[in-house]
A and B are shown apart, each in its own frame.
Chain A
Amino acid sequence: MTKATETLMPEHTAAHDNLSHEHDHHEHHGAPAGLMRWVLTTNHKDIGTLYLWFAFIMFLVGGAMAMVIRAELFQPGLQIVDPNFFNQMTTVHGLIMVFGAVMPAFTGLANWLIPMMIGAPDMALPRMNNWSFWILPFAFSMLLGSLFMEGGGPAFGWTFYAPLSTTYSSDSTALFVFSVHIMGISSIMGAINVIVTIFNMRAPSMTWMKMPLFVWTWLITAFLLIAVMPVLAGAVTMVLTDKFFGTSFFDAAGGGDPVMFQHIFWFFGHPEVYIMILPAFGIISQIVPTFARKRLFGYASMVYATASIALLSFIVWAHHMFTTGMPVFAEMFFMFATMLISVPTGVKVFNWVATMWRGSMTFEIPMLFALAFIVLFTIGGLSGLMLAITPVDFQYHDTYFVVAHFHYVLVTGAVFSIMAAVYYWLPKWTGKMFNITLAKWHFWCSLISVNVLFFPMHFVGLAGMPRRIPDYSLQFADYNQWISIGGFAFGLSQLIFLVLVIKACRKEGEPVTSQVWEGAEGLEWEIPSPAPYHTFETPPKVK
């Protein structure tokens, strides 16, 4: 570490002093060795690493389930798995990818980066931080374990609509409910930690409008989390009591209403989809200026656009329910409110494009992923706009068109942004440049296969292929074969990423400077690479 600090430039002596000071009593609180380091750690960098590895493992597990789905759909007819197991695969794939892969990956990035970006020594509530990570493996063991129970695991779709999840579900629903409770508690604790850290632990000169956009987008995401995760907890609790304790929240026979389930679920569910994309916007807003070598165009408008998207997300939920028989004025309201969201989203996309305009652009790996994000996320956004049109949604509803839409925004959107972030900050974390040849293979294989995988879904969807069904009519066979081939290729491409990350964690590669990327600006690029175990014990000066 001393070697690394020597590479610091003179204007960073404050940080230098701080680091050598902390080095003096390293014996007292450095990184302890062995397994217990990870179990007991309260260090934001350790916890960030744990979250990211957990998310990656869950990404591979959820991905394996997607492979089962695609293998079954390779041909029409039923050949590999029985329909009940197919339903469990679609359900658990969705749950794992949403709650096990994307959300923990963003929380891991928040843990690693927010303290380093705002000049704080750690997260505000380090012990709670440890808890919020370590309850996650239990939640997902419970969820995955339920697959092996008699009657199988959850098979009602990740949206667990009543009465599928109440009257018609297997007994393992109780395990599903408890695991969702634990996931919710984990995200709420993570969100509280982020908010308290950003409110109370910024370096004195880090004013609100100097905060990096990743910090801003995460702050707004954290508010969304504490607002809607409790509603999800309420919804699963009602499912639990309806199924096991004789209440009738969603049972018409007892005076309840199954449509009300959808209202409550989507009141959570729509903000939830922005929880999975706002931090991605933050990541792209960090990466694009670095490799365009220009300041981010429209910083303030980016902040306001993020806040507007978050606020609008609370009044659009029923666009998931156009076919439930709502009155026309409600359908009109939700249609126009949904379309309104494309305004702040458009502001963001145009700001990124304007940032690149006449910039000195270079195409390092994080930038490749960021550019792919901007193009492919926009495709997903446009198909979302199509779905928002009430009359045509009656045709698109519950078809593969919807599957294409949300995979474009979640895979080529959220997941690509996470990969971009990992490539962008990995050299900072390990101190070594990752294997660029492998990274290029990973990018190009992923980019091509992901489009072979998801683009034809638009066509089969428009032609009427329903989602969540293990079989299909013969006319969809050719496209589905392409989709499956793309799926297998995309799955295999992620193994390249796995190899690359393992090599990086074993500290293979060329050492990097503290700035890593030529155009990178921000506090995290002023500390040495690899980032020392403790940083900013005395607050830095922000330019």
Chain B
Amino acid sequence: MTSPTSANNRLVLRLITVVVGMFGFGFALVPLYDVFCDITGINGKTDNKAAVRTVDEIDKNREITVEFITRTNSGMPWEFRAETQKVLVHPGEVNTVAFYVRNPASSNIIAQAIPSVSPGQAALYLNKTECFCFNQQPLQAGQEAWMPMSFYVDTSLPEDITYFTLQYTLYDVTARATDLMESDNPYLRQPVSGSR
């Protein structure tokens, strides 16, 4: 027989382990959430690194409409628009769309674009080979730029998806990334196909 005190201590210790474990679980939910959304694609997030195109099969029989929506977060003064509102693409074919930004403010601002695809499932089949959203984008006061985004839609896109929307929201991240202002925006003087 163990004494009541040691029985209490053992139980308390176990319960504290549960408490510490659940505190950790609360934080573990953060990566779990990302992994879960990544696998199921339910929150419409796209990959934030460049996809490498491995096959050049193009499915000419299907046509997918991709619509672009641009918006800026509240308090973000930039002008932001896509060169075209909609494109018709064949699955497998690489397309490039340019996005126009201008910083009308009197201060230098660094922006981060966050993509969101609707319906969310389509996010799994949207592959970007190049995107301004992979990096933070600095613009000095009054500067403007055309920023490119190249993508292809995977040929395994489910048959029922014929139309999806890709939305970019620009956030002002100057406060957390001031060191970037040293360099210029890489897209500043770079001619982009379709720019005018």
Contacts and interface: CB of A to CB of B under 8 A. Distances in A.
Contacts of A125: 8, 12
Contact of B11 (A200, A252, A254): A200
A263 interface: yes
Contacts of B33: 257, 260, 263
Contact of A252 (B15, B16, B25, B171): B171
B43 interface: yes
Interface string A153-196: 00000000000000000000000000000000000100010011
B176 A200 contact: no
A228 B4 CA distance: 28
Nearest to B136: A253
Contacts of A235: 26
Contacts of A228: 22
Interface string B154-190: 0000000000000001011100100000000000000
Contacts of A226: 15, 18-19, 22
Contacts of A246: 176
B73 to A, nearest CB: 7
B23 A249 contact: no
**Interface footprint category on B:** 20 to 34
A434 to B, nearest CB: 36
A226 B171 CA distance: 38
Nearest to B119: A327
B29 A227 contact: no
Contacts of B12: 125, 192, 196
B70 interface: no
Interface in A256-278: 257, 259-260, 263-264, 267-268
A124 B8 contact: yes
B20 interface: yes
Nearest to B75: A167
A439 B16 CA distance: 42
B96 interface: no
A233 interface: yes
Interface string B28-65: 01100100000000110000100000000000000000
A91 to B, nearest CB: 22
Contacts of B4: 200-201
B26 A200 contact: no
Contacts of A502: none
B26 A231 contact: yes
A233 B23 contact: yes
Interface string A288-328: 00000000000000000000000000000000000001110
A326 B121 CA distance: 11
A359 interface: no
B16 A192 contact: yes
B30 A249 contact: yes
Contacts of A124: 8
A330 B42 contact: yes
Contacts of B15: 192, 195-196, 226
B22 A253 contact: no
Interface in A222-258: 226-235, 238, 246, 249, 252-255, 257
Interface residues of A, number: 37
A257 B37 CA distance: 11
Contacts of A232: 26
B112 interface: yes
Given A195-B15, A253-B114, A260-B33, A234 B8 contact: no
B77 interface: no
A199 interface: yes
Contacts of A260: 29-30, 33
B176 A254 contact: yes
Contacts of B11: 195-196, 199-200
A252 B18 CA distance: 31
B141 interface: no
A254 B112 CA distance: 8
A253 B171 contact: yes
B120 interface: yes
Contact of A230 (B23, B48, B120, B169): B23
B43 A259 contact: yes
Contacts of B23: 230-231, 233-234
Nearest to B45: A257
Contacts of B19: 188, 192, 226, 229-230
A230 B22 contact: yes
A185 B56 CA distance: 59
B43 A253 contact: no
A229 B21 CA distance: 12
Nearest to B112: A253
Contacts of A229: 19, 22
A257 B7 contact: no
Given A196-B12, A230-B20, A257-B43, 5 more contacts: A195-B11, A199-B11, A226-B15, A228-B22, A260-B33
12 contacts: A188-B19, A200-B11, A226-B18, A227-B18, A227-B22, A246-B176, A253-B172, A254-B176, A264-B26, A325-B120, A327-B42, A327-B121
Interface of B: 4, 7-8, 11-12, 15-16, 18-23, 25-27, 29-30, 33, 42-43, 48, 73, 112, 114, 120-121, 169, 171-173, 176
Interface of A: 124-125, 188, 192, 195-196, 199-201, 226-235, 238, 246, 249, 252-255, 257, 259-260, 263-264, 267-268, 325-327, 330
